[in-house]
Chains A and B, each alone.
Chain A
Amino acid sequence: MNKNDYFITGLQTKNEKVILEIYKTIYPNVKRFVLQNSGQEPDAEDVFQKAILQIMARLQVQNIEIKSTFDGYLFTACKNLWRRELNKTKNVVTIDQPIEPDDDINDLAQSILEQERWEFFQEKLELISGNCKQILQRFFKKIPYKIIAKELDYNDENVVRQRVFKCKSKLTEMIKSDNRFNQLKTL
C-alpha cells in the first residue's frame, strides 16, 4: 500500500493511530503557516480538521484522485481554507447572530466547490507553455512589467505587455472552452 492509500484508508476506517501520524507529519507545517499569516492556534486546528473533512467528502462524493502526495494535497487544502477565511471578512457582511450547525456544513460544502474551481484554474495554467506560465505567474502576482522584463530577459516592458496579452488570451481560451468553467457561478 502506498503512503497516500495508507493515509486515506486510515481516515476512512477512522484509524486513530494513522490519524495521529497524519497530525504529526502535516499539522506542524499548517500551524506554522496559519500563525505566520495572522492566525492563532485554534484557527490552525479548525482549518486542519476542515481540510481533512473536505478531502474525505470529495473522495466520497466527487471520486477525486489525489495525484500529488497526500501531505502536499492536505497542506494546499489547508492554505486555501485559511486564505478563504481571511477573505471572508472582505466579502461577507457580518450579522450579529449565532451560527447554526447547518451553516457550518453548507459553508464547508461551498468551500469544497470553490476548491474544485481553484484546482480547475491551476490545472489550466499547468497546460500552457513554460514561458507563458512563468510570465503569467509574475503578472498575476502583480510584479511590475519592468521587473518581469529584467527577470525574464525581455528587451522592455512593452514586449512583456504584448507577451502577457498573448499568454492570457491562450489561457482564457483554454478555460472558457472547458465545460467545467460554466458549471459554477462566481460571486
Chain B
Amino acid sequence: MSISEKLKIQVDDYLDGLMSDSELSKFTEELFSNLELQNYVAINKEMRIQYNDEDWQFLEKPSSDEFDDLTSYLNSDDARLLKNTLTKVSSAYNKDNNAQASKTNKAKVYSFFAIAASIVLIIGLFILNRDTNLYNIYNSWEELPSLIERGDVQSDVLQNAENAFISKDYKTANSLYLKALENPSLNNVNVYLYLGITQLELGKHEEAIATFDKILESDSIDFSKGYWYKALVYLKLDNIVEVKKQLKIILKDKNHYMYEEAIKIYSKLK
C-alpha cells in the first residue's frame, strides 16, 4: 500500500507545523497505527535536516565496531601527538597573526614616533657597538623552552640534562642530551637546540654547527632557530662574514626566529 497524495501533503503540513489542533490529533492517531506512514515521516524529517544549512542530524549513541575503531584511534598515541602538534602550530600561528595585527595598528598610529624612535635606537646602537661583546649579550640561554613535562616518566634523562644545563655543567648535559636523542620519542628540535648549545659552550663549534643544521633541516616550525644559533656560534668565533650570512637569511622572513634582534645586530656589524 502506498501513501496517498493527500496524506503526503498532510505530512508536509505536519512537519511544517501548519496543522490545526483537530488535524494534528487525527494525523497522530493515523501515524500511531500506520508503520508505512511512520517511515515516510521519518525519512522526510531527516531529509529536511540533512538538506538544509541550519539543522544537524544527531545519531543515537552508537555501539558499532566502526565507533569502537574510531574511539580507539582518537585515544591512540598517534592522535594525541597530532593534537599536540595542532595546538603548538595554532599558538605559533596566532602569535604571528597577533604580532602582525598589532604591528599594523601601531604603525598606522605611531608611524612618526616609530621613525623618531628608530633614529634614537640607531644612534644608541652605534654608541653601544664600540665596546660591547655581542656574543655575551646573547649567551644567557634564558630564552630556551623547558623540556620537562609534568608527569612524563620518559623525561628523567631530560630532567637530569636540564638540571646539569642550568648549573652550567655542560659536559654532563651534553652526554645526557646525546643519550636522550637515542630515544625516538624524545627526538625533537628542542633537544637538538640544547645539545647544540652544550657543544657551543664546550668549544665543539663544528659539532654545534652540525647540530643546528639538523634543526634547519627539520619539519619543525621552529626550524629558523637554527640560523640564529649558528649566527651565535660564528659570533663567538668572531667570524663576522658568516654571522652576516646567517643574519641575512633571518632577515628574509619576518617570521624567522629573532628577526628583530637580527636587524639590530646586522646594523651594528655594518
Which of the listed residues B42, B55, B70 has the most CB atoms from chain A within 10 Å of its own CB? B70
Given contacts A49-B90, A53-B82, contact A184 B43 (CB under 8 A): no
Whole-angstrom distance between the alpha carbons of A61 and B76 in the complex?
12
Q: With an 8 A cutoff between CB atoms, is B38 at the interface?
A: no
Residues of B within 8 A of A141 (CB): 51-53
B-side contacts of A185, CB under 8 Å: 59-60
Rounded to whole angstroms, the CA-CA distance of A45 and B83 in the bound complex is 12
Given A140-B52, A172-B47, A176-B43, A23 contacting B74 (CB threshold 8 A) = no
Contacts of A52 in B (CB 8 A): 82, 86
B219–A110 CB distance below 8 A? no
Least Cβ–Cβ distance between B56 and chain A, in angstroms: 4
Contacts of B57 on A, CB cut-off 8 Å? 114, 117-118, 186-187
Given known pairs A106-B71, A110-B59, A186-B58, the reply for A45 and B90 (CB within 8 Å) is yes
- Nearest chain A CB to B76's CB is how many angstroms away? 9
| Chain B facing A: main interface SS | helix
The docked-state distance in angstroms from the alpha carbon of A27 to that of B94 is 11
B48 proximal to A (CB < 8 A): yes
Complex Cα gap A171–B47 (Å)? 9
Pairwise interchain contact B56-A80, C-beta atoms closer than 8 A: yes
Cα distance, A24 to B81, chains bound together (Å): 21
* Docked complex: B39-89 residues within 8 A CB-CB of A: 40, 42-44, 46-48, 50-62, 64, 66-67, 69-71, 73-75, 78-79, 81-83, 85-89
Q: Are B59 and A114 neighbours in the complex by a CB distance under 8 Å?
A: yes
The answer to whether B127 has its CB under 8 Å from any CB of chain A is no
Contact flag A11-B43 (CB < 8 Å), given A20-B89, A184-B62, A187-B59: no
Q: Chain B CB within 10 Å — which of A61, A108, A125, A161 has the most?
A: A61
Query: A136 vs B51: C-alpha distance in the bound complex, in angstroms?
Result: 9
How far is the CB of B104 from the nearest CB of chain A, in Å? 15
Contact A87/B60 with A23-B93, A49-B90, A140-B47 known, Cβ cut-off 8 Å:
no
Closest to B94 in A: A45
- State the CA gap A30–B8 with chains docked (Å): 39
Inter-subunit contact A49/B43 (CB<8 Å): no
Q: How many residues on A have C-beta within 8 angstroms of the other chain's C-beta atoms?
A: 58
**Hey, which chain B residues are within 8 Å of A125, CB to CB?**
51
| A61 touching B69, Cβ below 8 Å | yes
Chain A residues positioned under 8 Å from B67 (CB to CB): 109-110, 113
B131 within 8 A of A: no
Q: Once the chains bind, are A113 and B221 in contact (CB under 8 Å)? A: no
Partner of B5, one of A83, A136, A165: A165
**Which 8 pairs across A and B sit closest by C-beta, in order of nearness?**
A140-B51, A121-B50, A109-B70, A87-B56, A15-B219, A16-B221, A14-B85, A23-B93
Give chain B's interface residues, CB within 8 Å of chain A.
5, 8-9, 40, 42-44, 46-48, 50-62, 64, 66-67, 69-71, 73-75, 78-79, 81-83, 85-90, 92-93, 219-223
23 examples of A-B residue contacts, CB within 8 angstroms: A13-B219, A16-B85, A16-B89, A19-B89, A20-B89, A23-B90, A49-B90, A57-B79, A80-B56, A83-B54, A83-B56, A84-B58, A87-B54, A91-B58, A105-B71, A105-B75, A106-B71, A110-B61, A113-B62, A114-B59, A117-B50, A136-B51, A172-B47
Instruction: A48-B90, A56-B79, A186-B42 are known; give 6 further A-B pairs, CB within 8 A.
Output: A49-B87, A87-B58, A112-B70, A113-B66, A175-B47, A186-B57
